[in-house]
């Protein structure tokens, strides 16, 4: 079943976050994911959206998503994001 990773990110150090971005695609390409959305100015329809960046990634399955997220290479890279931004990230199950 298709799975999605949704991340809302508040970047407080653009230079530090750039280190994360520089290594992201090299690692991400090794897995079966597909970037669907990377948006810093979504159209607000309701409520409040107080984050700098919204990311939506699609994977064939939750196992594929976890393989990417839990990989040693990604976790080593994620330390740059942790230092430069506050992130909320969830794994969502698709409908079919």
What is the model's pTM?
Answer: 0.94
Query: Rounded distance, CA 8 to CA 87, Å?
Result: 6
Give the helix ranges, DSSP H, for the chain: 14-28, 62-70, 72-84
pLDDT tens-place string over residues 37-74: 999 999 999 999 999 999 999 999 999 999 999 999 99
With a cut of 90, say whether residue 24 has pLDDT above it.
yes
With a cut of 80, say whether residue 96 has pLDDT above it.
no
CB-based contact 84:16 (threshold 8 Å): yes
Please tell me the total count of domains within the chain.
1
Question: Which structural domain range is residue 55 located in?
Answer: 3-42+51-93
Token pair recorded at residue 48: 């409040």
pLDDT for residue 55: 98
Domain CATH number, residue 82: 3.30.70.100
């Amino acid at each position: 079943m298709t799975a999605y990773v949704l991340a809302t990110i508040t970047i407080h150090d653009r230079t530090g976050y750039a280190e994360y971005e520089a290594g992201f695609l090299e690692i991400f390409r090794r897995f079966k994911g597909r970037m669907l959305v990377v948006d810093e100015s979504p159209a607000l329809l309701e409520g409040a959206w107080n984050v700098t960046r919204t990311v939506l990634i699609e994977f064939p399955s939750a196992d594929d998503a976890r393989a990417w997220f839990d990989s040693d290479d990604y976790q080593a890279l994620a330390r740059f994001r942790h230092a430069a931004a506050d992130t909320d990230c969830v794994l969502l199950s698709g409908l079919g």
